[in-house]
Chain A
């Protein structure tokens, strides 16, 4: 499997009022296509910091970061924006939908910043993704009218709309109950099974157990990096519509 990302000797330092915080201390990580990585570790160990660097929202202080073969660590702000809009999908703990937009419009946002012309085709695609996450009946609802689990599904659909190489999720089930968490994880697992690469931060062993690989961090360093065998999931139901997930050949 080809590499999606490669991080070598990555450092991140913050200086807060003359005291330096060393959030990442020489992290090395390679993620291959089709991986499902769970990033674990105690609070303050640098998980979110690492994920932000992976998501091109932050630049490393030191070290190199290659995403899809491109060296991202030296890119300008505009280039990083372009990388985010083409290669990456984000899922947040707080869902982060825009309250003034409907479900479909929220899913559309990444396309706007790709410079894609919004038309009937793109709209059909967004509706298809809403159906994929089980919200086909709620296309015109606003986030306020949806439950947390439903909002997170919209966020998942939104993270898929630009057919990303890599999906980044920071505690995607952190605000959800066990049952809803389970539904979300089934969805992510199915996406992974259909070829999507996912890096997910979580505190919970239950959630991490869905992944294929668990990376543990401590004090800004990778403590362990072990493969995991997820419990087999029930793939009953219709197959995922692959044309929505992958680039047309």
Chain B
């Protein structure tokens, strides 16, 4: 919390304590509630601006919070100390051997060896990723084969439902073992026990040694980063893939046959310390940019940490525009209330005269009308908070219902209640009451009592 909101909130608390504990405060509060109750509709209408303002702030903040959480979770899944390097098919295919239709590009084993020499890198997880039909008897599944090393499990924080992940021994010995993603397992083994059974991948048969729990997909928000659904995966040891499938992978795309030779589709690199992520990223970039090694831009680098910063910058932007929005709506609400209060003061001129004759000081009159405005904006703020909070919960609840799914755009963020926005908007509402109530209140207090008494 910043100084501004701390000041606001603490003055709100002091005010509340004063109103609740002192005789004068309680009486002022009672009086204010009574006059407001006397003109229910008018009070409600004059509060409307404040109600809309506060509820809008709370709802917008909740959406901001929700989308922020979505992105943050995404980044966390990718890992803040990770750098992800991918092979990218270059757009100009000049170097492709057209006769053979084999495209050669991407990260090489040589790259991997060089990366291993960077001291700040603690972990390197290379993977090859290609689509391949997996079969189990008559059942088939269009899986995504991920050929990788045991540490893949650490980097991606995998949870196993059953069995184990690939181990070093599998890789060294080129064992024909595999680990199934949840959807793959469900499709291939709807009724039987998957663990210990075998599946056919290409020409070879693999023993299922592990089953993965469900994994949240990553969003496809950042540049080269495509959305990934890990549940369709099947994992095999990297060396096994080299042995069984060779370095070249043939793919069928839109009826035509194409093949590509890619050593590695992705290398996930883990850095020992968050502070060293960016410098290391620069080193990696420099190495890969060497035209000797990669004459074409056939790789891409994703630093999840950069996205974190982007999120923070976006957040600051959202805050700022929300602040402007809230100020405008509260200003409008405040003017509405001031207008009504000025009318009220005129209407109650005689009351002011009577009170003054009976001994009220100017400050008593100021206090009375000021409290009334503050109670008005305070109640308006509370109603706004109530509405905003209910909206946030209703939205989340509705979204959870399967039948209401079509009402929401895919991937739209769910609002998450942003608690500081409640105290903040509430105290701002009361603050608006003070600012816009002071003039009408002083106007009442500085009326000539004799003239006020003569007022009809």
Binding site for B on A (CB under 8 A): 52, 55, 57-58, 77-78, 81-82, 84-86, 90, 92, 96-98, 100, 109-110, 112-114, 117-118, 158, 162
- CA–CA, A143 to B34, complex, Å? 16
Chain B 120-154: CB-based contact to A (< 8 A → 1; otherwise 0): 00000000000000000000000000000000000
Which of B23, B353, B450 is in CB contact (< 8 Å) with A118?
B23
Which of A58, A109, A112 is in CB contact (< 8 Å) with B450?
A58
- CA–CA, A85 to B27, complex, Å? 18
* Chain B residues touching A, majority SS: helix
Say yes or no: A77-B362 contact (C-beta < 8 A), given A57-B450, A100-B34, A118-B23.
yes
CB distance from A80 to the nearest CB of B (A): 9
- CA–CA, A92 to B353, complex, Å? 12
- Whether the Cβ atoms of A84 and B359 lie closer than 8 Å is yes
Which residue in chain A gives the minimum CB-CB distance to B364?
A113
- Whether the Cβ atoms of B358 and A158 lie closer than 8 Å is yes
Instruction: Collect the chain B residues with CB atoms within 8 Å of residue A52's CB.
Output: 450
Instruction: Collect the chain A residues with CB atoms within 8 Å of residue B27's CB.
Output: 112, 118
- Whether the Cβ atoms of A110 and B23 lie closer than 8 Å is no
- Whether the Cβ atoms of A81 and B453 lie closer than 8 Å is no
- CA–CA, A114 to B359, complex, Å? 7
Question: Would you give 6 A-B contacts (Cβ < 8 Å), ordered by A?
Answer: A55-B357, A57-B357, A81-B359, A85-B359, A90-B358, A96-B357
- Whether the Cβ atoms of A81 and B361 lie closer than 8 Å is yes
Say yes or no: A113-B23 contact (C-beta < 8 A), given A57-B449, A57-B450, A100-B38.
no
**B70 at the A interface (CB under 8 A):** no
- CA–CA, A109 to B356, complex, Å? 11
Instruction: Collect the chain A residues with CB atoms within 8 Å of residue B358's CB.
Output: 84-85, 90, 109-110, 113, 158
Binding site for A on B (CB under 8 A): 23, 27, 34-35, 38, 350-351, 353-364, 449-450, 453
Instruction: Collect the chain A residues with CB atoms within 8 Å of residue B453's CB.
Output: 57, 92, 96
Say yes or no: A82-B23 contact (C-beta < 8 A), given A57-B449, A96-B453, A98-B351.
no
CB distance from B361 to the nearest CB of A (A): 4
CB distance from B145 to the nearest CB of A (A): 80
For B23, B34, B359, the residue with the greatest tally of chain A CB atoms inside 10 Å of its CB is B359
CB distance from A179 to the nearest CB of B (A): 27
- Whether the Cβ atoms of B362 and A78 lie closer than 8 Å is yes
Instruction: Collect the chain A residues with CB atoms within 8 Å of residue B364's CB.
Output: 81, 113
Instruction: Collect the chain A residues with CB atoms within 8 Å of residue B350's CB.
Output: 96
- CA–CA, A110 to B358, complex, Å? 5
Closest 7 CB pairs of A and B: A85-B359, A113-B359, A81-B361, A84-B359, A110-B358, A113-B360, A96-B354
Instruction: Collect the chain A residues with CB atoms within 8 Å of residue B355's CB.
Output: 109, 113
CB distance from A187 to the nearest CB of B (A): 19
Instruction: Collect the chain B residues with CB atoms within 8 Å of residue A96's CB.
Output: 350, 353-354, 357, 453
- CA–CA, A98 to B35, complex, Å? 12
Say yes or no: A82-B449 contact (C-beta < 8 A), given A98-B351, A98-B354, A117-B23.
no
- CA–CA, A52 to B357, complex, Å? 10
- Besides the contacts A82-B359, A162-B359, what 19 more A-B pairs have beta carbons closer than 8 Å? A52-B450, A57-B357, A78-B362, A81-B356, A81-B361, A81-B362, A81-B364, A82-B361, A84-B357, A85-B360, A90-B357, A97-B354, A109-B354, A110-B358, A113-B359, A113-B361, A118-B23, A118-B27, A158-B358
Instruction: Collect the chain B residues with CB atoms within 8 Å of residue A162's CB.
Output: 359
Instruction: Collect the chain B residues with CB atoms within 8 Å of residue A98's CB.
Output: 351, 354
CB distance from A14 to the nearest CB of B (A): 11
CB distance from B118 to the nearest CB of A (A): 78
- Whether the Cβ atoms of A100 and B450 lie closer than 8 Å is no
CB distance from B360 to the nearest CB of A (A): 5
- CA–CA, A117 to B25, complex, Å? 12
Instruction: Collect the chain A residues with CB atoms within 8 Å of residue B359's CB.
Output: 81-82, 84-86, 110, 113-114, 162
CB distance from A52 to the nearest CB of B (A): 5
- CA–CA, A84 to B359, complex, Å? 5
- CA–CA, A78 to B361, complex, Å? 6
- CA–CA, A114 to B34, complex, Å? 22
Instruction: Collect the chain B residues with CB atoms within 8 Å of residue A55's CB.
Output: 357
Instruction: Collect the chain B residues with CB atoms within 8 Å of residue A82's CB.
Output: 359, 361
Which residue in chain A gives the minimum CB-CB distance to B26?
A118
- Whether the Cβ atoms of A81 and B360 lie closer than 8 Å is yes
- Whether the Cβ atoms of B361 and A57 lie closer than 8 Å is no
- CA–CA, A90 to B359, complex, Å? 10
- Whether the Cβ atoms of B35 and A100 lie closer than 8 Å is yes
For A78, A81, A96, A158, the residue with the greatest tally of chain B CB atoms inside 10 Å of its CB is A81
- CA–CA, A55 to B359, complex, Å? 11
Which residue in chain B gives the minimum CB-CB distance to A116?
B23
CB distance from B121 to the nearest CB of A (A): 75
CB distance from A54 to the nearest CB of B (A): 12
CB distance from B347 to the nearest CB of A (A): 12
- CA–CA, A77 to B357, complex, Å? 12
- CA–CA, A90 to B356, complex, Å? 11
CB distance from B26 to the nearest CB of A (A): 10
- CA–CA, A55 to B357, complex, Å? 8
For A97, A98, A112, the residue with the greatest tally of chain B CB atoms inside 10 Å of its CB is A112
CB distance from A72 to the nearest CB of B (A): 14
Instruction: Collect the chain A residues with CB atoms within 8 Å of residue B354's CB.
Output: 96-98, 109
- CA–CA, A91 to B170, complex, Å? 104
Which residue in chain A gives the minimum CB-CB distance to B34?
A100
- CA–CA, A82 to B356, complex, Å? 10
